[in-house]
Structure formats: structure tokens, C-alpha cells
A and B are shown apart, each in its own frame.
Chain A
Amino acid sequence: MFSSALLRHRRLIVFLTLGVVALAVLTEQVRTPDRRRVGWAGEAVEFALAPAATVLSRAGGAVSGAWSLLNEIGALRTENARLRAEVGRLREENAGLRPVAQENTRLGALLGFKEHQPYQTVATRVIGREPSDWFSTVLVDRGTLAGVRRNDPVVTSEGLVGHVIETGLTWSRVLLLLDPRSAVGVLAVRSREAGVAEGQGFPVLRVKYLARDADVQPGDEIVTSGLGQIYPRSLVVGTVIGISHAAGDMFQEALVRPSADLSHLEELLIVVRGGEQVAR
């Protein structure tokens, strides 16, 4: 009878029992001054649960530490990204300033060259380049309005570049020394041996018609001879880098590397009044 009643109300009994235990543990603390002294029941519970609490605290600390670490990593990543962006921006700025500095150097050299030349020149800027590999011409931003005419020589501070082959009002096309259509009367400065420097479509000129016994050696400087009716005398063309001399040939040939960097032309000088010998 009693046991069946217990069985019937076991839910309530369990609930009430646990409730009473909880209240006992709770009220035990009220009698203590700091209200967190656990009393005999609490002490038993804490004794049983202290290891779990220790593990939990450590686990919590570990999780918290890991979380802090993750946060720190996140913050570092953000900072890293910001710094990378800053470096990128500064590099971009630097890259933007470098050409200005280089241009400044080039223009300074060009100005110095211009001041020491007896010729009247027009400064111009390259605005276009022949895209094919076989011909070498550039388009510049000065034309007949600036006094530029066909066959005007074109130079940089480093040396001869070529000559004008077409002109418009505000533009001109310059045939570079490297173009196979280009031929320039030249002299070896040291031995005064004369020849004709022709373009070959690649960055080395071939000086033809040098006398078979001409004294030309690698390292010799080559300048314009002034005999071709286009170029004035003594403009630097380049430096001899090799001699080809086959048995039985009437002439020898020299390979010359142009002094001007013809593959990276930006600012040029057009010699507009270079000599009266030029037929325009």
C-alpha cells in the first residue's frame, strides 16, 4: 500500500526531496556572515564537485586564452592587412615618383646637351612607337608648327637617334638608326676612318664600306661624318663592339652599339637648323 503510493507519486517525491536539499543548502548560507560559506551540506557538495570546478575553470581559462589568442590573431591579421595596404600605397606612390625623378634627370641632361650644341633644337616627347619588330620609328609631338622639317636629325643627350621622315602640323615621325632603311655617314673618332652605319632591325648597327686596312678596333667611338647631307658632323653615334673581316673582301665591317638607348626613348631633341648642307 505504502510502496504503491510511493511509486505513484515518485515524481513528486523526487522533486520535493531535491527541492528541500536545495533549500537546505541555500538557507545554510544565510546564517553565515559572508553568505557564501557552504555549510555542511554545501561542503559535501563542493568537496564532490571541486575537482570538476577546477577542471572547468582551467578549461574555461584555456578556452578564454584560446579565444584571446584568436582575437589577437584576428587583430594582427587586420593590422597586417592595413600595413600591407600602406606598403602597397607607398610603393605605388614611390613608383609614381620614380619616373618623375628619372624624367627630371633626363631633361637636365638634355638641357645641358642643348646648351652645348651649336645647333638650334626643338625639344619633343615620344608619343608613339612602331609596334612591329622589323622597323624602328617613333612618333613625336612636334611638327611643322614648331619648325620641324623632313630629314631633321634627332638626338638625345647620349647621342644620335635618327632623323625625321614625316611631318605633320603637330607631330613628326622619326626613323631610328636601327631601322633597316636608315643609313648614316660616320667616322671613327680615333682613326678618322669613314663608313656608312646601317640599321639591321636589331640593336646593333653595321658600319659598312670601311677600307680593308682601316684601323678600327672595338671600343672606338663612332660619330657622324657630316657627309650624308642629313646629319651634321660629330654627333655621337655609338661604340664599336666588333669587326668582321673576311678574306677576299674589299671592305671590312664594324658592329656598333648605339650610344642612345633607342629602345627606351622618351624625350628627344630635333635639330632644326643643323647645317646648310642639308636638303630639306
Chain B
Amino acid sequence: MKYVSRITRGRIRHRRAVEIIAMIAMIGSTILVIGSLLAIIGTIIWKSLPALKLSMITQTPKGGYYLGKEGGILNAIVGSLYLGLGATALALVLSLPIVLYLNLYTKKNSRLAGLTRFAFDVLWGIPSIVYGAFGFVLMMAVGLRASLLAGIITVALLEIPIMSRAIDEVMVLVPRELKEASLSLGATRLETAFKVVVRQTMPGILTAVLISFGRGIGDAASVLFTAGFTDRIPTSLLQPAATLPLAIFFQLGTPFPEVQQRAYASAAVLTLLILFISIGSRLLIRRLTKHVIK
């Protein structure tokens, strides 16, 4: 009797120790991750302080900007916004039909659906420079120069797998009964898709759009050959466009410390841009989702 209880007591002590160690590990990793995030933002802002002037975001580069003279990165800010918004819009227009098709029109163990999902998973993992190279080939084939349009198409290709899979993840969770409720009222599958399924998954769709937008606007490699770079703000889709990631890349690559500081300022602008858009859309999500069935 005594023997057994000693073992039991020992085991309880052991299990409690494991519990505590695991908890410390979890809290530790949380602190590490949040700490890294703060460290990144802190470093960027600290390094950019000397270069943070209003002219950075209100002016385009003047002559000799990359040698440390007057000007700003308005060209890259506007270029990135055009490119990010354009590519995300294009990606959404193409992703949504794909995902709705997968979820409402194909059978559960359809070969085609499985293959499509697998393809997206593979495409998700392909480095963006490959998309850049592919976009470049595509561009050459149709006789397009490095331009906003070519950049938008390439970044959209990069975003589609991410967006499609993220939307798909939430759409497979829509209960069959909910779709049946709509169908049994005499709605077609298309009406069910747009009026019920899209509404029900709106928070997930918006999150997917945000993730892809963040990925698209922050990507340098895919726009390197396709969007080009210019000091001017593009006024048409066929003109080249500057982007923030490339602006950071070029400025960081100069030997002048004051220009390198501007690279950090550009990074701060890019980070804040994504932050503001995230916060803005979170607020939007709250308004759009009051009807969602939990």
C-alpha cells in the first residue's frame, strides 16, 4: 500500500514538473517572438530617425537623391500602393471563382479539386524570384515592357495560391446544411455561393486578402524585372513603377550612410503602411461580419 502511494506521489511530482517546464517553454517562445517583432520595428525606427522628414513621404527623388541630395520616396510609396492594390484586386477576382468552384461544384473526393489544392500548395512554396523570372518571360512573350501592368500581373500570380488556399481553408468549414438551406429555397449553386457562402466566410476572405496584400506589397524579387524602377509616379499602367522594397534595396546598397538611413525610413514607411491597412481592415471586418453564424 505504502509502496504504491510512494510511486503515485513520485509520478504526480514528475508530471507537475513536466507541466511547469512546458509552460515556461511556451511563455518563453511567446516572449521571444513578440520581442523579435518589437526589436525589428524598434531597429527600423531607430535607424531611420535621422532621415525621417516629411519630405521623405511628400516628394519624389530629386536629382542626386541617391547620393544624399534632396527628395523623398513618394514615387515608391505610390508605386507600391498601386501595385499592391492592383495585384490583390486581380488575385481576388481570380481566386474567388476558383475556390467557389472547388467548394460548391466539385465532389468531395474529386481528382480535379485535389490536384488544384496540391498545385496551390506547391505554388505557395515557390520563391518569388521565380515568379519574377516567369513574369519576365511572359512580358517578353506579349511584348510588354517593365511596367506597372507587368508588375501587377506577376504579383497577382504570386498572391493567387496564398489567397486561394487561405479562402479555401474557411470555405470547407461552411456546413453542408447551410448550403442545403439555400438550395432548398430554390436558389442555384451560384446564388448560394455569392449570397450565402461568401457572406458566411467574409471574415476569412478579408483575412486572406490582407495576408496576400502584405505578401504582395512587401515582395521585391517578383517586381525586380517586371515593374522596373523610376523616380516618377506612374500615370498609366504601361509605365514603370517604383516600389518600396526595391527602394529599400537600392538605398541600402549605396555607400552613403545618409542614404542608408533613408532605406530604413523607407522600411518604416512600408511597415507602417501595412500596419495601417491591417488595422483599417480589422475595423471593416467587424462591420461586415455581424451576420455571420457562429
Q: Do A and B bind each other?
A: no
B residues adjacent to A (C-beta < 8 A) = none
A residues adjacent to B (C-beta < 8 A) = none
